[in-house]
Amino acid sequence: DFRTWAGTLVCACALARMRATDPASTNSIATAIEETATALGNTPAVSRDAYICPAVISSFEKGEVVGSYFESLQKLTSYRGTKLHRAEKALLR
């Protein structure tokens, strides 16, 4: 399902951006879930329960994030390549 892929990718990229800019932040997960919910047009609870792979959040809690990511939600939604973006490839690993 593309919404699950998109939700997982949005959340993974948001968490990676937050780790890069503010590694000490304590509300990164909630902020990333809110960004994902906004992108999908859902509530944070629905987004977390139905559209974000739990492994993305548990990996973040262990200090692991994707190595490549979109710098903003706008760049993610405007990407029109015919192949996987490097952020998508990083998420698959």
CATH of the domain at 86: 1.10.132.120
Residue range(s) defining the domain that contains residue 69: 2-92
Cβ contacts of residue 59 below 8 Å, gap of 6+? Answer: 65
Which pLDDT score is estimated for 50?
A: 96
Which pLDDT score is estimated for 25?
A: 78
Which pLDDT score is estimated for 40?
A: 94
Over its length of 93 residues, how does the chain's per-residue pLDDT go in tens digits? 688 888 999 999 999 888 887 777 779 999 999 999 999 999 999 999 999 999 999 999 888 888 766 676 677 667 777 777 777 787 777
Which pLDDT score is estimated for 64?
A: 87
User: In the chain, how many domains are there?
Assistant: 1
